[in-house]
Amino acid sequence: MSPHPGLPEPRSDAMGGEGLSAASPKAARPSEILRRSARYLARHGVESPRETAETLLMHFLGTDRAGLYSRAEGLDSRTARLFGRALCQRCTGVPLQYLTGEQDFMGLRLTVGPGVFVPRPETETLVGTALDLLRGVPNPVVVDVGTGTGAVALAVKHARPDARVLATDLSETAVGLASANAERHGLEIEVLKGDLLSPVPEALRGNVAQIVSNPPYIAPEDYEGLPEEVRAEPYEALVGGTEFHTRLTDLATAWLEPGGWLVVEIGADQGDDVHAILSSRLEDVTILPDLARRDRIALGRRSPGG
């Protein structure tokens, strides 16, 4: 049985060919193990095979890159077995982060796992924009909708300790994981289970400084063309087109305080559509690019006049 619930069972020949079976793992130095493992991953079409092998081996050895390459001894049988299974699972499309159980996001190391969306580097642009808009706003109330691992909510709270940060998600698994990540980092956020803004306390209606969200925005017709490792993540956390942008925009004016902002992540080809959606209810609507100069963030605010 797979040691990671929800992940594919590895084949018994996970280290075959150029893998660890070519020599005893106890006799091989990590550099030699990495060389053969990277070739194995490359043959199976895994991107960045050397870096992937390094990340997995560092994880199972509990060391960093310097410790990995300075290590003289080989692997014990248990470590070799776990490493081999992980290589095989990576070749079947299991995300690397599901295998290590962690993902770094804006200086926070988050626990991740099957059933919850893996935070992406481009979402750091969303957080950066959100924080820029909160400058000069004392003790803001921020709601992260569709929190997943809690990445956005926790990054905001980490940067703005004075903020009251609430995080919502429809997935019970996500709510549990976000709560665990908050406890891991000692960050006090309120994680609530429910659809969009429905679990937010009624007393906050009209008093929210910012609603921020990385909603599922991949179009249904594009799903089958996604890489296998992306399709290993929850369908409902990936696919939604612009439906969620429409629903959030319809709710935003009732929850935002005057001058409060809605900030959402979008697909690279959704700028015009989401601009029109936000403009139907909000002011000062803007589409911003990510570091690759692709449309990535849409924002708009409730009229300062109410």
**Which carries the bigger pLDDT value, residue 15 or residue 114?**
114
pLDDT for 123 beyond 60:
yes
* Residue (of 4, 28, 3, 1) closest to 15 by Cα position: 28
Look at 24 and 277; give whichever has higher pLDDT: 277
CA nearest neighbour of 211 among 116, 142, 108, 139: 142
Active-site residue identified among 60, 95, 214, 244: 214
Q: 256: pLDDT confidence band, cut at 50, 70 and 90?
A: very high
Query: Which residues, at least 6 apart from 256, have a Cβ–Cβ distance to it below 8 Å?
Result: 206, 208, 209, 210, 211, 262, 301, 302
Q: Which of 105, 117, 119, 181 is catalytic?
A: 117
Beta bridge partners of 261: 210, 301
The pLDDT, as a whole number, for residue 25 is 56
In this predicted model, what pLDDT tens digit does every residue of 259-287 receive, in sequence order?
999 999 999 999 999 999 999 999 999 99
| Confidence at 113, pLDDT banded by 50, 70, 90 | very high
Q: Is the pLDDT of residue 100 over 90?
A: yes
- At residue 70, the pLDDT reads 87
In the block, residue with structure tokens 């449309």: 295
Mean pLDDT of the chain: 90
Region 228-235 average pLDDT: 87
Q: Is 139 annotated as catalytic?
A: no
Q: How far is CA 195 from the centre of its chain?
A: 19
Mean pLDDT of 67-76: 86
Distance CA 171, CA 189 (A): 17
Q: How would DSSP label each residue in 82-102?
A: HHHHHHHHHHTT--HHHHHSE
For residues 103-115, give the mean pLDDT.
Answer: 95
pTM of the model: 0.86
What are the tokens at 281? 């209810």
Is 214 in the active site? yes
pLDDT in tens, 151-170: 999 999 999 999 999 999 99
Would the pLDDT of 15 be above 70?
no
Residue 12 — very low, low, confident or very high, per pLDDT cuts 50/70/90? very low
Q: Which of 30-39, 61-70, 105-114 has the highest mean pLDDT?
A: 105-114
38 neighbors 50 (Cβ within 8 angstroms): yes
Task: Dig out the tokens for 14 from the structure.
Answer: 């996970």
**pLDDT of residue 305 exceeding 60:** yes
pLDDT of residue 13: 44
Q: Respond yes or no: is residue 258 known to be catalytic.
A: no
Instruction: State the pLDDT at residue 21.
Output: 47
**Count, residues in the chain:** 306
Check whether 74 has a pLDDT greater than 90: no
Identify residue 167 by its one-letter amino acid code: A
Among residues 10, 30, 95, 215, the one annotated as catalytic is 215
Alpha helices in 170-261 (DSSP H): 172-185, 228-231, 235-238, 243-255
Instruction: Answer whether residue 20 shows pLDDT above 70.
Output: no
Whether the CB-CB separation of 191 and 176 falls below 8 Å is answered with no
Query: Which is higher by pLDDT, 165 or 70?
Result: 165
The CA distance from 185 to 82, in Å, is 28
The residue-averaged pLDDT of 290-295 equals: 91
